[in-house]
Chains A and B, each alone.
Chain A
Amino acid sequence: MSGPLGTADVAALLYREALLLDRLDFDPWLALYTPDCLFWMPAWRDDGTQTEDPDRELSLIYYRGRRNLEDRVQRIRSGFSVASAVMPRAAHMVGNVLSEPVDEATVRAESSFIVHVQDVRSNRAHAYFGRYEHELVRREDGWKISRKVIRLMNDVVPTMLDIYGV
């Protein structure tokens, strides 16, 4: 694909990411990210503001480098994590996609998400919701996610929340 990515193409990539997470199909999900990607879910500083400087403030998740996401996937698959023994089921809804090209090879996108997670072990369902900020970059093998910020609105986590739940 040449030229900047249009909003429809951006949305298609976000939907694809959501589908892969719903299917717990982690290898192609990881392949959507650049090796030096940023994966960041800030915490809340107080009632109304989120943390902004991940090196001086706490995040819920902060990784620079896909290798860290691979560690997360490895733990989920390890068979040694009771929190991942009975896998929750997730359904992502991504909408309100807005995108803006930065240059020929970079696009930024904002979107809204709701992820319904059924915790099969305890038969409890919870909906996580918030906004995504994606940065997509063109690489030789297609467009990749170089940066994803997850702004989680309902940040009081019932028991646990893993990478497939947001």
Chain B
Amino acid sequence: MKPFILRDLVDDRPEDGVFRVNRALFRDPALFELEMKHVFEGGWVFVGMATQAERPHDYFTSFIGRVPIIVSRDEEGVLRCLVNVCPHKGVRLVQKLCGNARRHVCPYHSWTFDSTGANKNIKWQKSGCYAAGFDEENHDLASVARFGEYRGFLFASLNPDVPSLEDHLGETRKLIDLVVDKSPEGVELVPGRVVFTYAANWKMQLENCSDQYHFTSTHPSYIRILDQRAREKVDEVVQSSIGAADFWQEDASGVTGGTMSFDHGHVLNWGVMPVSAALPEFEHADALAQRHGVAKRNWMFNMRNLTIFPNLQLADNASSQMRVIRPLGAGLTEMQTWCIAPRGESAQARAFRIRQYEDFFNPTGMATPDDTVCYEEAQLGMAEQERPWLQGHARGLTASVEGGNDYADMIELKPARSVLADAQLCDESLFGSYYRAWAQRMAEVLA
């Protein structure tokens, strides 16, 4: 018998104009355990960037769901994603976040592996009086079942039975291109990783990234500072990109942006941003138009928040951020965050990008704390109660259309659904894509 009934958790009835999510999805510890197994350990997840292990024998460590992994580049330059666990006693093999090593020696009994994961030594094997059965076993590090790269973005799946990475990413590859193609040299992570936790469910972060509705409500203290900085133009204050855009201003007219949903749970929300010096990319605006055409260049300047379900978010708004969501419990989530930037940009553009990043994105900055505190307040409200259904997935239901629109067509982008919005529409129907993908990955345990 399957432990949960889908329609009790996600009330998805497009014919009646209803899409609702039950609070239990954010709270239930039994459901959380199943999510770890089926959502995070049962399908494609983002694991890191190829630039995090650039030279032979470079490696970095992370987790897929609850399983420790190591991404290692071998002598020949081949990247592998391996389970970071010694087959002997199950000890995590490599403890460091990143490094360079030809050999990895288990700290417990010195079993040794090379940068391909092959076992090179079992201490005192000949004197070990092992039976034949032991010799027949594979003593190498286990490979993660599926591992793939798209333009430097690395994805893996512990479950072999998944679509190809190409299929999984689908049309969102064109949105990743917008990030990577900002420079002919591609992108890199700016040194300095910022990690924070919040005491709420991982889906709060999943939604918030694509939630245009919260910006003017959650961040008025930051917006006031942006306004003030724009008015005063004092050299020493951190300058702002988002202050120069009007997609979020309630009195802006016409189409200011919108949302797009893609297969497998990926979503984009976006806003029109002018090609202006308010963005660090402006130094290469003409070159980008020549290389990629004006339409694609203009899209590179638009505000874009892209989620690749279930754990990667690429935010191009006040600056450029890569976030990785790591659920630790039904009510506890870890966020790993980096500034992601075009390689080879000028020192001035880089510094400008970093300054804006710190002010907006950091848990020590002026915007993210107001988000994470709201997530925690929401978690309190997820307690079981008479009215279990949230009302936060309903905006935009009547504006959502199948396929794309003129803006998508400009870069031949073919979303499954899209919404064109004025500044006040603030679509929530795109969240439906998250929960439909969630339900697909959870199908085994949902009746």
Confirm or deny: A33 has a beta carbon within 8 angstroms of a beta carbon on chain B.
Answer: no
Residues of B with C-beta under 8 A to A41: 364
Q: Which of A51, A54, A82, A121 contacts B218 (CB 8 A)?
A: A82
Closest residue on chain A to residue B361 by CB atoms: A58
Kindly state the separation between the CA atoms of A24 and B418 in the bound complex, as whole angstroms. Answer: 47
Residue contact A82 to B192, C-beta cutoff 8 Å = no
Q: Name the interface residues of B296-337: CB closer than 8 Å to any CB of A.
A: 334
Residue contact B362 to A159, C-beta cutoff 8 Å = no
Most buried by A among B338, B357, B365: B365
Kindly state the separation between the CA atoms of A159 and B374 in the bound complex, as whole angstroms. Answer: 10
Nearest chain A CB to B142 CB, angstrom units: 24
Confirm or deny: B135 has a beta carbon within 8 angstroms of a beta carbon on chain A.
Answer: no
CB contact under 8 A between A155 and B369, given known A68-B236, A84-B221 = no
Nearest chain A CB to B363 CB, angstrom units: 4
Kindly state the separation between the CA atoms of A47 and B94 in the bound complex, as whole angstroms. Answer: 12
Residues of A with C-beta under 8 A to B192: 42-45, 51, 57-59
Q: Which of A51, A57, A58, A161 contacts B363 (CB 8 A)?
A: A161
Confirm or deny: B199 has a beta carbon within 8 angstroms of a beta carbon on chain A.
Answer: yes
What mask results when residues 342 to 366 of chain B are scored 1 for a CB within 8 Å of chain A, else 0? 0000010011001101100011111
Residue contact B362 to A61, C-beta cutoff 8 Å = yes
Kindly state the separation between the CA atoms of A57 and B347 in the bound complex, as whole angstroms. Answer: 11
Confirm or deny: B191 has a beta carbon within 8 angstroms of a beta carbon on chain A.
Answer: yes
Kindly state the separation between the CA atoms of A143 and B339 in the bound complex, as whole angstroms. Answer: 37
Residue contact B193 to A43, C-beta cutoff 8 Å = yes
A-B contact count (CB 8 A): 145
Residue contact A159 to B97, C-beta cutoff 8 Å = no
Q: Which of B225, B234, B339 contacts A75 (CB 8 A)?
A: B225
Kindly state the separation between the CA atoms of A150 and B427 in the bound complex, as whole angstroms. Answer: 41
Confirm or deny: A16 has a beta carbon within 8 angstroms of a beta carbon on chain B.
Answer: no
Residues of B with C-beta under 8 A to A51: 191-192
Interface size (A, Cβ < 8 Å)?
44
Confirm or deny: B237 has a beta carbon within 8 angstroms of a beta carbon on chain A.
Answer: yes
Residue contact A83 to B236, C-beta cutoff 8 Å = no
Nearest chain A CB to B138 CB, angstrom units: 30
What mask results when residues 53 to 67 of chain A are scored 1 for a CB within 8 Å of chain B, else 0? 011111111111101
Residue contact B222 to A75, C-beta cutoff 8 Å = yes
What mask results when residues 109 to 148 of chain A are scored 1 for a CB within 8 Å of chain B, else 0? 0000000000001101000000000000000000000000
Confirm or deny: B368 has a beta carbon within 8 angstroms of a beta carbon on chain A.
Answer: yes
Most buried by A among B97, B199, B224, B363: B363
Residues of A with C-beta under 8 A to B338: 58
Nearest chain B CB to A127 CB, angstrom units: 15
Q: Which of B197, B339, B362, B372 contacts A60 (CB 8 A)?
A: B362
Residue contact B98 to A46, C-beta cutoff 8 Å = yes
Residues of B with C-beta under 8 A to A121: 373
Kindly state the separation between the CA atoms of A121 and B197 in the bound complex, as whole angstroms. Answer: 16
Q: Which of B224, B225, B238, B363 contacts A157 (CB 8 A)?
A: B363
Kindly state the separation between the CA atoms of A78 and B196 in the bound complex, as whole angstroms. Answer: 24
Kindly state the separation between the CA atoms of A68 and B239 in the bound complex, as whole angstroms. Answer: 11
Residue contact B197 to A58, C-beta cutoff 8 Å = no
Confirm or deny: B96 has a beta carbon within 8 angstroms of a beta carbon on chain A.
Answer: yes
Confirm or deny: A156 has a beta carbon within 8 angstroms of a beta carbon on chain B.
Answer: yes
Nearest chain A CB to B248 CB, angstrom units: 15
Residue contact A159 to B363, C-beta cutoff 8 Å = yes
Closest residue on chain A to residue B238 by CB atoms: A68
CB contact under 8 A between A159 and B373, given known A54-B354, A55-B351, A72-B366 = yes
Confirm or deny: A2 has a beta carbon within 8 angstroms of a beta carbon on chain B.
Answer: no
Kindly state the separation between the CA atoms of A158 and B224 in the bound complex, as whole angstroms. Answer: 26
Kindly state the separation between the CA atoms of A155 and B337 in the bound complex, as whole angstroms. Answer: 13
Closest residue on chain A to residue B197 by CB atoms: A158
Nearest chain A CB to B379 CB, angstrom units: 10
A-B contact pairs, 25 of them (CB 8 A): A43-B194, A45-B192, A51-B191, A54-B354, A56-B347, A56-B354, A57-B354, A58-B338, A58-B339, A58-B357, A59-B354, A59-B358, A61-B364, A61-B365, A62-B355, A71-B225, A71-B228, A71-B229, A75-B222, A78-B221, A156-B195, A157-B197, A158-B199, A160-B373, A161-B363
Extra inter-chain contacts (8) besides given A74-B225, A160-B372, CB under 8 Å: A45-B192, A55-B347, A60-B364, A80-B224, A83-B373, A155-B194, A160-B368, A160-B373
